[in-house]
Structure 1
Amino acid sequence: MKGVFRTSVDKADFKYTLIIITALLFFVGAVYLSTNVMVENRYQKAVARLKEEKWEEAALILSHMPNHKDGEILKRYALARDEMEFKSQPELVETGYVTVLRLLYEIPDHYQGDFKEDIDRLKVLVLAKREQAIKEGAVQPHFLYFDDSSVQKVYAVRLGDKDLFYERSYLVPNFEVLD
């Protein structure tokens, strides 16, 4: 049995092990760095699409990338703007602006990103349009309902100098007005 287990390490084995570990660390670092660069480039492309008011393209880019910075919030904003732009006014009034309001209210109130003012202006605009539809009798004034039984809410947590955004589902009751 003598010689089966080696107890000493010669210099050649140590040198090859060191080279392999160094190469592996370099490879993992390069992949990590290039992945982060690609994600950041896609995020910047989505922000550029938002600034160009290309809502559908921005939402598509943001939906196909991992949670990066405030991407989930911007995705909801882009979807809300897309809904406002491409649905006809009668369709929006008919649904009581529910889809748009749902998307906007899934954005945290304490969001402080670059598009905060735009999001706030859109909320005010949609609520004003809904109020006008209520005054005209096109929308029931008693309640704001959601189409299905769950709502996604985005939360933001600050960890050091980074913001972490995550989603949580809630069940929402459907209210009915009894006369």
Structure 2
Amino acid sequence: MTAASPLPMTPLGELPSFVKDVRAAGSPFPAVHYWVPERTGDAATDYERGRLHFGDAVAFSLRPNAPLFLAYVVVAMFANIGPMERGFLEAMIQAAQVGRAAPRLTDEEVAVIEVEPSDQARLREIEAEMAEALAARCWLPDLLFFTVFNHLGGAEGEFVGGSMTMFARTALNGKRN
């Protein structure tokens, strides 16, 4: 998901530890990467840290002016799923299992995602896959698991923003319950 940062006024020191300042040397403009956690190299430890990072991401996402933070973190994991990401995502799936399903993105939200207008149809198709997985999550819970990991590990790249936003909003709804 490429768009204006959802954190325009947040001091970098207030962000969770897995968010890193990646500004160019000497640049006065902040730039963040939403998923650069410290890894131990031990799969079990990293998995548990991922679950803890999910809690930190939720806490930050519930702050004013940060409702898209969780979606940005998840999209930053694209094509880089290891034990820590698996722990984070499995904790997020658990929260989404009990959350009220979020609506699809509005046309205005889709317009913010930097894809060509001709590619918006593909973004909407992937978003529809997530909507189906969320609708079936109570009676077919593995579908949500496979949909999330397929979207983040697949070749869809710039098109996963809508599906991950819907997933993130549903997980946040679950944490509010």
Q: TM-score, with normalisation over the residues of structure 1?
A: 0.30
- Indicate the structure with greater strand content: 1
Q: Which has the higher contact order (CA 8 A, sep 6+)?
A: 2
State the structure with more CA Rg.
1
